[in-house]
Copies of this chain bind each other. A is one copy, B any other.
């Protein structure tokens, strides 16, 4: 199992967390998502190596910006 952490800027509430979760969940191969507006941390788990570009694009699609932590 791979675990990858990202720092997301701009989330303020549970709705924001839900938006990020919803977009990241569309990425194939992802088995787990933890996201916290309080810490700005997004943790993605996957069976094989996660596609960083896809995760960053998904966060962008949700309306926020992320960098690999």
Q: Range of interface residues on chain A?
A: under 10
User: Which residues of chain A have a CB within 8 Å of any CB of chain B?
Assistant: 12-13, 15-16, 18-19
Residue of B with least CB distance to A19: B15
Q: How far is the CB of A38 from the nearest CB of chain B, in Å?
A: 11
A16 — which chain B residues lie within 8 A by C-beta? 13, 15
Measured in the bound complex, the distance between the Cα atoms of B12 and A19 in whole Å is: 14
A12 — which chain B residues lie within 8 A by C-beta? 12-13
Measured in the bound complex, the distance between the Cα atoms of B15 and A19 in whole Å is: 9
Measured in the bound complex, the distance between the Cα atoms of B8 and A30 in whole Å is: 38
A18 — which chain B residues lie within 8 A by C-beta? 15
Q: How far is the CB of A11 from the nearest CB of chain B, in Å?
A: 8
